[in-house]
Amino acid sequence: MFEADMEITLERERASVRAHVRGWKDGGYILVDVPDARWKQKDENPLVARLASSGKYYGFTTRAIGFMPEINLLILEYPEDIVDTSLRTAERFTITLPVTMTMAVKDKRYDYPGLITDISKHGCRIACGRPFNVSERLALSGQFPQGDKFEKIMFTIISASGGEGKFFYGGQLTFPAKEDEKALVEFMKRVKIAYGP
């Protein structure tokens, strides 16, 4: 499940930080590189850790059992129980679909261009030129090839990769407006009819 340099999100008391896995010992510990100084210390309070790998989303509870200042690594207790959820339970389709990604910050809205590269009823993968954080939510708007427009499909980021102006995000989709969900289902039906199963 763990991979060197994979991104991991740590959460404690409504605060969260993005870190990277630098090493681990099964049943023993996980070493993570945490950029925020507030997290660089031993702490007996529980942490929630989340990460995505090979199409699955993992979550577990752990504790910070030590910190190695000479190499700047936080030592996490290896979890006893890891919960995993498949991100790919639904059929996925490869697509090149331009979208507008909208982020709301207080009373302001910020729009960024993005490109959906594959999509299912429950999630998608987006390429974008702007960095976002895991767990952030954005509203997607655009138009499917059959002409149906969508205005507010919510995209929650679960995994992030890339850098230097080229970023890739995997995430889950939710549909505040049923019309948007129907438009996606109609698009997938048409693709299956045109290209087969």
List pLDDT tens digits, range 97-123. Answer: 999 999 988 888 999 999 999 888 888
Positions of the chain with pLDDT under 70: 14, 54-56, 84-90, 192-197
**Residue (of 67, 2, 65, 3) closest to 34 by Cα position:** 67
Q: Give pLDDT tens digits for 6-26.
A: 888 888 876 778 888 999 999
CATH of domain 93-195: 2.40.10.220
So what's the pLDDT on residue 50? 82
pLDDT of residue 151: 87
**Helix locations, 51-161, DSSP H:** none
What is the predicted pLDDT for the residue at 89? 52
pLDDT for residue 55 = 62
Round to whole Å and give the CA distance between 162 and 36: 20
Query: Which residues does residue 128 pair with via DSSP β-bridges, in sequence order?
Result: 114, 167
Q: CATH 2.30.110.10: which residues of the chain?
A: 7-86
The Cβ-side half-sphere exposure at 10, using a 13 Å CA radius, reads: 28
DSSP β-bridge partners for residue 60 = 49
Q: Say how many C-beta atoms besides its own lie within 10 A of residue 97's C-beta.
A: 19
pLDDT at 28: 92
> What's the alpha-carbon Rg for the chain, to the nearest Å?
19
Alpha-helix runs per DSSP H in the chain: 178-195
pLDDT of residue 120: 86
CATH code for the part of the protein at 7-86: 2.30.110.10
What was the pLDDT predicted at 187? 84
- Which residue intervals of the chain bear CATH 2.40.10.220? 93-195
